[in-house]
Each structure stands twice: as structure tokens, then as C-alpha cells.
């Protein structure tokens, strides 16, 4: 086969260091636009972006030439630098969540990501993340899940 074809849809989640509310509401849209720019430079297609003051969700189509860990590292490093340049001492948490998404569920996940503020009126980031891990069958150590 002379060409590469892929459908690597990933729901990525990463939080601020210690899940502190460091992202002011008036910076959200600019941060999302900046993340879109980083992704475009990496040839990542962003299908949805959203979040709250302490975390971000991205639904991406990952190109076959870019490892997931490298994509997340570049998205986090560059956006962290940008937020700091906007006058906010800032760090993302070291880890992240990455969950594969079936093409048949893309619309559902896009809607979920775009409505993060509404979801977080009912549950915390920690509750949400636990639900994602359990729903996707990801093994985790509850004692160390949210450790620094």
C-alpha cells in the first residue's frame, strides 16, 4: 500500500498542577485558540477543545507519524509557556489522560468537551476523571491517582 491511512481519535485530558484553578475565564478562549495553533503546527486535527479553570479536554485526530506522548508534551509545554507569558505563574500536572474514541462516538465526545462548565456544576474534575478511567477500563492506583 503506497499511502498511510489512520483514524486515531483520542480524548486527551490534562490538569493544572495540583488541580488549582489557575486559568481565568477570560483567558479560556485565547488558550483554546493557542492550543489549536500548536496542534496545527504538529499536523494534529482538533475536533473539540474545552475545560475549566483547572483542566483542559481535547478531542484530536492524531497523525500516524506523531507519537501520543510527544504530542501531549508539546501541547502542554508550549501552552504552559504561553500562559506564563500572559502573567500567570503556571504549570500543568505531569501526567495526562488519553482515551481512544470510536468514530461513532465523536459527536458525543465533542458535545461533552464543549460543555465542560455545565458538567462541572455537578461534579469535580477528580470525579470526572475517575469516571473516564473506569468507563475506559483503565487500571489505576487510587492512592496515587491525584498525588503531586
Q: Could you state, in order of their start, the residue ranges of all structural domains in the chain? A: 9-135
Residue 115 has pLDDT above 80, yes or no: yes
Residue 119 has pLDDT above 90, yes or no: no
pLDDT at 145: 87
Residue 108 has pLDDT above 80, yes or no: yes
* Long-range contacts of the stretch 119-126 (C-beta < 8 A, 24+): 120/52, 125/15, 125/19, 125/52, 125/54, 125/55, 126/19
Residue 1 has pLDDT above 80, yes or no: no
In whole numbers, what is the pLDDT of the chain averaged over residues? 94
Q: Name the percent of the chain lying above pLDDT 70.
A: 99
pLDDT at 92: 96
Please state which CATH class domain 9-135 belongs to. alpha beta
**Per-residue pLDDT tens over the stretch 54-95:** 999 999 999 999 999 999 999 999 999 999 998 999 999 999
pTM of the complete model: 0.93
Confidence bin at 148 (pLDDT 50/70/90): low
72 in Cβ contact with 23 (< 8 Å)? no
The DSSP 8-state label assigned to residue 3 in this structure reads S
Using H for helix, E for strand and C for coil, what is the string for 20-37?
A: CCCCCHHHHHHHHHHHHH
Amino acid at each position: 500500500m503506497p499511502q498511510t491511512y489512520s483514524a486515531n481519535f483520542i480524548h486527551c485530558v490534562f490538569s493544572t498542577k495540583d488541580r488549582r484553578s489557575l486559568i481565568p475565564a477570560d483567558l479560556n478562549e485565547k488558550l483554546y485558540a493557542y492550543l489549536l495553533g500548536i496542534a496545527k503546527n504538529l499536523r494534529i486535527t482538533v475536533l473539540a477543545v474545552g475545560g475549566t479553570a483547572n483542566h483542559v479536554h481535547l478531542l484530536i485526530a492524531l497523525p500516524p507519524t506523531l507519537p501520543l506522548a510527544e504530542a501531549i508534551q508539546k501541547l502542554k509545554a508550549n501552552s504552559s509557556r504561553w500562559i506564563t507569558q500572559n502573567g500567570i505563574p503556571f504549570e500543568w500536572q505531569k501526567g495526562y489522560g488519553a482515551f481512544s474514541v470510536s468514530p461513532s462516538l465523536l459527536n458525543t465526545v465533542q458535545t461533552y468537551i464543549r460543555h465542560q462548565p455545565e458538567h462541572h456544576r455537578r461534579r469535580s474534575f477528580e470525579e470526572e476523571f475517575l469516571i473516564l478511567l473506569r468507563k475506559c477500563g483503565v487500571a489505576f492506583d487510587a492512592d496515587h491517582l491525584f498525588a503531586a
